[in-house]
Structure 1
Amino acid sequence: MAIRVITFLILNFAALGIGGLFTGTGVTSDWYNNLSKAPWTPPGWTFGAAWTTIMVCFAFYMAYLWPSVQNKKLLVSLFSFQWILNVLWNPVFFYFQNPLLGIIVISSLTILVGVFLFKYYSTLKSQSVFILPYLLWLIIATSLNAYILIYN
């Protein structure tokens, strides 16, 4: 179990790190600071704390799920697609400053994480709680991206 958790921690935080490279000064840029943002936008420090918690929980979720799933090829495909979408959103939104493509990416990621929850709930049961922070945060993040898209 420990090896699986560590493996998924490395993969998850690699996605955050790569995505973060493309964020650069995006959060402090004039473009982002001049956007009309949703009134429910959390303070900046929340994002780091949330993503750290999410990726730790998701590592445990995947570590529990891995030995329980027969179709490893499907699981690897779903995880890989999730990983790519997770990495992709930062450059799309911050580097290319494209909220429309950003909403497509983050909505796809939200749906995919929902697929994980519902597809594998019968396999993991109560351990499915580990994916809930990811899904809930993505719902919030999608709403923030949508607000920016609509009001700017």
Structure 2
Amino acid sequence: MDWFVFALFMAASFTAAATGSLFPPDQWYKDLTKPGWTPPNWLFPIAWTILYVASAYAAMHIALHENNAVPMGFWAFQIAANTLWTPIFFGLKKLGVAMVAILVLWIAVLGTLITFFQLDQVAGLLMVPYLIWVSYAAALNLNIWRTN
């Protein structure tokens, strides 16, 4: 394990996560009609912390492989796309635009997962919960957009 490389990926992840503290759920979000399967607000930072650590660890594994340009490009794409959703949803309050942003994120995470798997199965598996969570979040975004 290369702790310095892992720390770099964690720094990128925490930078993306910072948008959550810049644009936290407010009264507007509380007043939205949400489905019964909406998780409690306290769960989001816990889930994202776990996902970011797993993703950074997976990225560190891939960064140490040869021929890693495409997987690293996908990882950079997904972390950039991840950074956009919160300001669009909670900051701009644009549910439809947030839906597009989360679909872009979903594609980026899927690309990351597939290309990671090609180099390292453990790294690929570590991205599976991330794709599941983004799929769930996309379904939630879609439901909130359609009902509001």
Q: Provide the TM-score with structure 1 as the length reference.
A: 0.89
What aligned pairs does 1:24-39 form with structure 2 within 5 A after superposition? 24=24, 27-29=25-27, 31-39=28-36
Per-residue CA distance 1:3-51 (angstroms, 9 max, x = gap): 111111111111111x124414xx122x211111121111111101000
- Where structure 2 has 5 or more consecutive residues not aligned to the other structure, the ranges are none
Tell me the number of residue pairs that the alignment of Structure 1 and Structure 2 aligns.
147
Residues 22, 94 of structure 1: 8 Å contact kept: no
- Confirm whether residue 60 of structure 1 aligns to residue 57 of structure 2: yes
Over aligned residue pairs, what C-alpha RMSD do you find?
1.5
- Confirm whether residue 117 of structure 1 aligns to residue 113 of structure 2: yes
The whole-number CA distance in structure 1 between the counterparts of 2:138 and 2:78 is 15
Q: Which residue of 2 aligns with 1:7?
A: 8
Q: Which residue of 1 aligns with 2:20?
A: 20
Q: Which residue of 2 aligns with 1:42?
A: 39
Per-residue CA distance 1:70-126 (angstroms, 9 max, x = gap): 152x34432332222111111110111001000000111011101111123121113
Q: Which has the higher contact order (CA 8 A, sep 6+)?
A: 1
The whole-number CA distance in structure 2 between the counterparts of 1:130 and 1:141 is 18
Q: Which residue of 1 aligns with 2:103?
A: 107
AA aligned to 1:70 is N
- Where structure 1 has 5 or more consecutive residues not aligned to the other structure, the ranges are none
The whole-number CA distance in structure 2 between the counterparts of 1:82 and 1:5 is 17
Residues 85, 109 of structure 1: 8 Å contact kept: yes
The whole-number CA distance in structure 1 between the counterparts of 2:11 and 2:66 is 21
Q: Provide the TM-score with structure 2 as the length reference.
A: 0.91
Change (3 A) 1:133 1:103: same
The whole-number CA distance in structure 1 between the counterparts of 2:75 and 2:123 is 17
Identity of aligned residues (%): 29
Residues 117, 125 of structure 2: 8 Å contact kept: no
Residues 58, 122 of structure 2: 8 Å contact kept: no
The whole-number CA distance in structure 1 between the counterparts of 2:119 and 2:21 is 35
